[in-house]
């Protein structure tokens, strides 16, 4: 696990001075990095502090209004509710769209388990909306090499998990004519331009600098030390000549904020290579059923709702394991009301219940005590069961042939 002291930064990481990632003495509780998220607070990570620590910008009312004005469409609920709460250079991306100039989307998934959970869906649900709204190509990287290096996995198993996760990603409804999905372990050796960009990035970052950014130690395998260049390379359009040719196309990366250290490094390197800095939209974290202080784990199926769960399993998990913000007795709850800030059923509804008015009514009723914990959990169960069931139906239609089409290097169609 990497220490939080090593990833705190002001603005884009300054590779020549790793000490800018040093600890702010006022921020001692939250540990956020690409491999671990920990907080002592029942309400979760303090995202305002994280914005200051990482040097990003808040998604504010001005940006939200501009989003709707330029796209002509209502903002996605994940955006307007502040789940995607932070950004880098999003106004630049909106300028490009306004000027009818091209850009592309890039996001990814580290396939460490066969079954993805609801939290894994969040970036892909939002990325699909971005793709539909902006009519742009999308690159999805499956970092099976990363999971092989960090986890106790055989290489063959890492490759297999990437394929299984890719089918879940495809089931989110991405347009095959605009989407390219690739596995690092299968693709990089067949694309010299991608590898060439990796080497360019590697030459710009010293071992001392990468230790300062990611906290690597002397006992870490050398594969970990070189991996950040692999995650950085898709940020540059020249890594995919079969899609973009020789054109230098800017990139927008929707991702959870724990991935930001990779792209602070990338943004520092980009100008030195003559490339555009990637823009980013950061999401907050999806909490475990047991509360924001705990971590979801593939080895403990009760920490989250998995995309393979049956309606009965979803009901049982929510009823038995979803942390409650309610009071100890019905009488006390009616009198004092519940705490939506810590109640996991309500938190999950903010991610998956699209109706703003209904969500607000639930918040008011639970806070006042009119809605009991059991009733709130039933609201969540009624929302999640059809979402997971429909996903499973779409997933069943993703054949090996469909998967192969998405993962075949080819020219993509897009508007600008």
Q: What is the reported pLDDT for 242?
A: 97
Q: What is the reported pLDDT for 14?
A: 42
Residue 202, pLDDT > 60, answer yes
pLDDT digits (tens, 9 = 90+) for 93-138: 999 999 999 999 999 999 988 989 999 999 999 999 999 999 999 9
Average pLDDT for 79-101: 97
pLDDT band at 81 (very low <50, low <70, confident <90, very high): very high
Instruction: Compute how many other C-beta atoms are within 10 angstroms of the C-beta atom of residue 415.
Output: 11
Using alpha carbons only, what angle is made at residue 299 by residues 298 and 301, rounded to the nearest 5 degrees? 70
Least reliable range by pLDDT among 30-44, 72-86, 141-155: 30-44
In the chain, domain spans: 4-289, 301-396
pLDDT digits (tens, 9 = 90+) for 139-167: 999 999 999 999 999 999 999 999 999 99
Annotate 151-184 with DSSP letters as a single string: SS--HHHHHHHHHHHHHHHHTTT--TTTEEEEEH
Q: CATH assignment of 4-289?
A: 3.40.50.620
Q: What is the reported pLDDT for 37?
A: 62
Residue 20, pLDDT > 90, answer no
**pTM for this entry:** 0.90
Tokens 């899609």: give the residue.
243
Least reliable range by pLDDT among 13-27, 50-64, 165-179: 13-27
Residue 308, pLDDT > 70, answer yes
Average pLDDT for 44-68: 91
Cα separation, 242 vs 411, in Å, equals: 6
Q: What is the reported pLDDT for 43?
A: 63
Q: What is the reported pLDDT for 303?
A: 84
Contact 286, 296 (CB under 8 A): yes
Residue 302, pLDDT > 90, answer no
The pLDDT mean for the chain works out to 89
Cα separation, 191 vs 242, in Å, equals: 10
Contact 79, 282 (CB under 8 A): no
Q: At what angle do helices 260-273 and 192-204 cross, to 10 degrees?
A: 90
Residue 366, pLDDT > 90, answer yes
Contact 268, 14 (CB under 8 A): yes
Q: What is the reported pLDDT for 7?
A: 31
Query: 37: which 2 tokens?
Result: 């998220």
Average pLDDT for 54-58: 93
Query: 328: which 2 tokens?
Result: 């100890």
Residue 27, pLDDT > 50, answer no
Residue 24, pLDDT > 60, answer no
Residue 55, pLDDT > 80, answer yes
Cα separation, 385 vs 311, in Å, equals: 5
- Torsion from C-alpha of 195, 240, 173, 318, nearest 10 degrees: 30
* DSSP strand pairing (57-58 vs 84-88): antiparallel
pLDDT band at 35 (very low <50, low <70, confident <90, very high): low
Contact 231, 141 (CB under 8 A): yes
Give the residue among 19, 33, 29 at the shortest CA–CA distance from 214. Answer: 33
Cα separation, 244 vs 6, in Å, equals: 36
| Helices assigned H by DSSP within 151-295 | 155-170, 184-187, 192-204, 207-214, 222-232, 241-244, 260-273
Q: What is the reported pLDDT for 1?
A: 36
Residue 28, pLDDT > 90, answer no
pLDDT band at 29 (very low <50, low <70, confident <90, very high): low
Q: What is the reported pLDDT for 396?
A: 98
Cβ-count burial of 221 within 10 angstroms (0-12 exposed, 13-18 middle, 19+ buried)? exposed
The alpha carbon of residue 22 and the mean position of all alpha carbons in its chain are separated, in whole angstroms, by 25
Instruction: Compute how many other C-beta atoms are within 10 angstroms of the C-beta atom of residue 399.
Output: 10
Residue 4, pLDDT > 90, answer no
- Which residues, including other chains, have CB under 8 Å from residue 122's CB and lie 6 or more apart? 78, 83, 256, 283, 286, 351
Contact 298, 112 (CB under 8 A): yes
Percent above pLDDT 90 for the chain: 79
CATH 3.40.50.410 at 301-396, yes or no:
no
Residue 8, pLDDT > 50, answer no
Q: What is the reported pLDDT for 112?
A: 87
Residue 6, pLDDT > 50, answer no
Residue 301, pLDDT > 80, answer no
Contact 251, 106 (CB under 8 A): yes
Cα separation, 332 vs 312, in Å, equals: 30
């Amino acid at each position: 696990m990497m220490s939080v002291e090593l990833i705190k930064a002001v603005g884009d990481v300054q590779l020549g001075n790793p000490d800018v990632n040093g600890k702010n003495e006022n921020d001692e509780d939250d540990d956020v990095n690409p491999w671990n998220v920990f907080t002592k607070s029942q309400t979760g990570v303090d995202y305002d502090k994280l914005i200051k620590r990482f040097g990003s910008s808040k998604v504010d009312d001005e940006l939200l209004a501009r989003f709707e004005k330029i796209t002509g469409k209502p903002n996605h609920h994940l955006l307007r509710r502040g789940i995607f709460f932070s950004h880098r250079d999003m106004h630049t991306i909106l300028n490009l769209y306004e000027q009818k100039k091209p850009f592309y989307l890039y996001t990814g998934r580290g396939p460490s388990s066969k079954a993805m959970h609801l939290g894994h869906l969040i970036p892909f649900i939002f990325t699909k909306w971005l793709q539909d709204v902006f009519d742009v190509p999308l690159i999805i990287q499956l970092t099976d090499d990363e999971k092989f290096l960090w986890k106790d996995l055989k290489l063959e198993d890492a490759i297999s998990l990437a394929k299984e996760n890719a089918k879940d990603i495809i089931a989110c409804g991405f347009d095959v004519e605009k989407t390219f999905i690739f596995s690092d372990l299968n693709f990089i050796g067949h694309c010299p331009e991608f590898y060439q960009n990796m080497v360019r990035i590697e030459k710009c970052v010293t071992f001392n600098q990468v230790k300062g950014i990611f906290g690597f130690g002397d006992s870490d395998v050398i594969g970990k030390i070189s991996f950040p260049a692999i995650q950085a390379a898709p940020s540059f359009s020249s890594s995919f000549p079969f899609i973009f040719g020789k054109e230098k196309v800017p990139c927008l990366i929707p991702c959870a904020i724990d991935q930001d250290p990779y792209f602070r490094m990338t943004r520092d390197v980009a100008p030195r290579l003559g490339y555009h800095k990637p823009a980013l939209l950061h999401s907050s974290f999806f909490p475990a059923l047991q509360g924001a202080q705990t971590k979801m784990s593939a080895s403990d199926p009760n920490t989250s709702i998995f995309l393979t769960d049956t309606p009965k399993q979803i009901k049982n998990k929510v009823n038995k394991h979803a942390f409650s913000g309610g009071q100890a007795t019905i009488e006390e709850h009616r009198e004092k009301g519940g705490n939506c800030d810590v109640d996991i059923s309500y938190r999950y509804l903010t991610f998956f219940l699209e109706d703003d008015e209904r969500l607000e009514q639930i918040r008011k009723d639970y806070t006042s005590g009119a809605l009991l914990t059991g009733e709130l959990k039933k609201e969540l169960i009624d929302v999640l069961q059809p979402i997971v069931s429909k996903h499973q139906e779409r997933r069943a239609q993703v054949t090996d042939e469909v998967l192969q089409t998405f993962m075949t290097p080819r020219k993509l169609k897009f508007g600008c």
